[in-house]
Structure 1
Amino acid sequence: MNIEKALTLGYSEESQYAETIHPGPLADNSCQVKSPSKTAISIRRYRLYTISNTEPIKEFKLKLAVIQPRASREFPEFTLTSLEGAVADSKLHDVDVVILPELILPGYNFPKRHHSMAQSLNGEWMRNLSKIAQKYQCAIVLGWAERFEGTVYNSVTALGSRGEILAHYRKRQLFGAMEQKSFAPGRSPSPVFEIAGYKFGLLICYEIELPEYARDLALRGAEVVIVPTANPVGYEHVQDILVPARAYENRQFVAYVNYCGAQNGLAFSGTSLVAGPDGKALAQAGHEATALYVKLPEFSDYPKRILSTQLDDLRKLTDQSDVPHRE
């Protein structure tokens, strides 16, 4: 298929899977996008992509919206209003799942907020998000600070298009002093759940960097791994190397959803992406606030010769060796 390159400062890979978004009357690449919501903040500022096809694209079963917001100091009430606008805009592009970064409620780099604002799974945040998902008939996945029986967790929740909770997961592999001070580690692996015929799993930020977590999900049948993250500047090797490697070695799609900009002194590296099972990006953002609308192809669309066979080939490891060695 002959695809023209995306005309954007943020992403220039060829891809038939990224949604075509035409600027129309909007002349500036980072101009405000009109939406049904009354309030718009940095999460609403999208970089516009133009990708042209010379052949019709086949039907796809699932479309993701990867929302890379500019990190904000706003309080959760304002963020929820903006989040609804992002969902409304995404639904205009026939999206099935909207994905937002780690701890978007109440904000990643605000440790005092984590304890003072954390809510329960049946609290106001989740009730409002459930209404938004039901209103727009769209699944939502996002990271937030959860309080359960007096303990605070770094959590991610997947809400279905009827507002129901499809999956809930607490981050097990906390990263750095701030997270380790703010949160208790989760104890349970991510559930594997289904949306539009695809099997999903959840990880949070640092966990995708450790091969065991994605491999566990693959062995349990997960085809799409959603990873809300808050990856800072200086750790771009995660997007450049590790996320594509996880997708390739496990034959999975990996949606890695980051912030851009800075928050309370911490600068984020942006470049959110959806990597396919061939280890290549279906779409990737740059360093500005961006909405990526990404159609997932069928696994059968990929030639078998380019997909990893590691899951099938890996031999069971034992303590025995056939190599002579000293006791």
Structure 2
Amino acid sequence: MKKIAVVLLQMDIAFGNPKENQRHVRELFQEANLQPGELVILPEMWNTAYDLTRLEEIADYNGQETLQLLKELATTYRVTIVGGSVAVKEGADFYNRTYVIDENGSVLTQYDKAHLFGLMAEDRYLASGNKLAFFENKQVTISPFICYDLRFPEWYRLAAQQGAEVYIVSAQWPVQRLAQWRKLLQARAIENQAFFIAVNRVGADPANHFPGHSMIIDPLGEIILELDDQECIARGEVDAAAILPVRGEIPVFKDARPALYEQIRKGETNNGIFD
């Protein structure tokens, strides 16, 4: 069985107010008419938004409150939750972290954002992650990513080489780069011949407006679901059985030449430069 029923929670986020955001997430789950077995996805930094200067005060210590909430919701509604991402304090550091919780309340995986976005000051306040993450759902290998990661194709190709068939991107992507959001998602889907499910927030914080436009994209780069700029709950379906024919027709993974790329990177070939 390769079909996954997905629920996109495209939500507004209260700036620097974890309690209000937790309340709102509960409300959205209550409104969503969730069915057992669905995969529910939240946007990036839904607990605090980008109130980074107050992380010491508002970040979730070791993710305790987030995990308690997501486990409760997952077991109550019998769904798997890709918890967007939240601001977490661990030791002396803060992370932009995704938790994935299954319908039994177990943590399937977690992912810390690897690429920190300087234009929103992440590099000043957050520590970067250094590991890919994967989980299985309906016999499909899924890999979660966060927002700015989208601009680094090599990060996604590594995941594909390790078996990723469906990618999930949680984001707070500002409106002025909406066209890039759409094009980058389509490009990553095409080059990795995989489904992409992307959930972006709506609303505004003191510095940015966020346009939503959460979407599902197929392995050929076709947009099969795209939302508007309003808060909403949306459903779609991903049939991962469609991936194999695409990868068979154009075998980019088989035809890739990683040894050559590494030689060029190390300067072991001429690299097109005249002697």
Whole-Å separation in 2 of the counterparts to 1:66 and 1:252 = 18
| Amino acid in the other structure paired with 1:326 | F
Say how many residue pairs are matched.
Answer: 267
Structure 1 residue 301, shift from structure 2 partner = 7.6
Whole-Å separation in 2 of the counterparts to 1:257 and 1:163 = 22
Whole-Å separation in 2 of the counterparts to 1:153 and 1:323 = 38
Percent identity (aligned): 25
Give the secondary-structure state (helix, strand or coil) at the position aligned to 2:60.
coil
What residue is the counterpart of 1:129 in the other structure? 70
> Is 2:16–2:58's contact at 8 Å kept on the other side of the alignment?
no
Give the secondary-structure state (helix, strand or coil) at the position aligned to 2:61.
coil
Are the structure 2 counterparts of residues 172 and 302 from structure 1 closer, same or farther at C-alpha, using a change threshold of 3 Å?
closer
Whole-Å separation in 2 of the counterparts to 1:191 and 1:322 = 36
Picking from 184, 187, 192, the partner of 1:242 is 184
- Residue 165 (structure 2) pairs with residue 217 (structure 1): no
Q: TM-score, normalization: structure 2? A: 0.88
- Residue 105 (structure 2) pairs with residue 163 (structure 1): yes
> Is 1:235–1:269's contact at 8 Å kept on the other side of the alignment?
no
What residue is the counterpart of 2:123 in the other structure? 180
Are the structure 2 counterparts of residues 308 and 174 from structure 1 closer, same or farther at C-alpha, using a change threshold of 3 Å?
farther
Whole-Å separation in 2 of the counterparts to 1:272 and 1:122 = 25
> Is 1:284–1:292's contact at 8 Å kept on the other side of the alignment?
no
Are the structure 2 counterparts of residues 292 and 315 from structure 1 closer, same or farther at C-alpha, using a change threshold of 3 Å?
same
- Superposed, 1:1-327 pairs within 5 Å as 61-73=3-15, 75-92=17-34, 96-107=38-49, 109-121=50-62, 123-141=64-82, 142-177=84-119, 178-187=121-130, 189-300=131-242, 304=246, 308-316=250-258, 317=260, 318-319=263-264, 326-327=274-275
Are the structure 2 counterparts of residues 81 and 305 from structure 1 closer, same or farther at C-alpha, using a change threshold of 3 Å?
closer
Structure 1 residue 323, shift from structure 2 partner = 8.7
| Amino acid in the other structure paired with 2:122 | E
Flag structure 1 segments of 5+ consecutive residues without an equivalent.
Answer: 1-58
The Cα offsets for residues 13-39 of structure 1, whole Å up to 9 and x where unpaired, read as xxxxxxxxxxxxxxxxxxxxxxxxxxx
Greater share of residues in strand: 2
Give the secondary-structure state (helix, strand or coil) at the position aligned to 2:169.
strand
Flag structure 2 segments of 5+ consecutive residues without an equivalent.
Answer: none
Whole-Å separation in 2 of the counterparts to 1:324 and 1:253 = 35
Are the structure 2 counterparts of residues 164 and 322 from structure 1 closer, same or farther at C-alpha, using a change threshold of 3 Å?
same
Whole-Å separation in 2 of the counterparts to 1:299 and 1:134 = 28
| Amino acid in the other structure paired with 1:204 | I
Whole-Å separation in 1 of the counterparts to 2:189 and 2:90 = 32
Are the structure 2 counterparts of residues 324 and 217 from structure 1 closer, same or farther at C-alpha, using a change threshold of 3 Å?
closer
The Cα offsets for residues 269-327 of structure 1, whole Å up to 9 and x where unpaired, read as 22111111110112011111122201112334885499643222212323465898632
Structure 1 residue 158, shift from structure 2 partner = 0.8
Are the structure 2 counterparts of residues 234 and 324 from structure 1 closer, same or farther at C-alpha, using a change threshold of 3 Å?
closer
Q: TM-score, normalization: structure 1? A: 0.75
Are the structure 2 counterparts of residues 313 and 90 from structure 1 closer, same or farther at C-alpha, using a change threshold of 3 Å?
farther
Structure 1 residue 120, shift from structure 2 partner = 3.2
Whole-Å separation in 1 of the counterparts to 2:163 and 2:248 = 20
Give the secondary-structure state (helix, strand or coil) at the position aligned to 1:87.
helix
> Is 2:194–2:219's contact at 8 Å kept on the other side of the alignment?
yes
Give the secondary-structure state (helix, strand or coil) at the position aligned to 1:248.
helix
Structure 1 residue 192, shift from structure 2 partner = 1.6
What residue is the counterpart of 1:43 in the other structure? none
Whole-Å separation in 2 of the counterparts to 1:301 and 1:313 = 17
Are the structure 2 counterparts of residues 323 and 118 from structure 1 closer, same or farther at C-alpha, using a change threshold of 3 Å?
closer
Greater share of residues in helix: 2
Whole-Å separation in 1 of the counterparts to 2:66 and 2:47 = 8
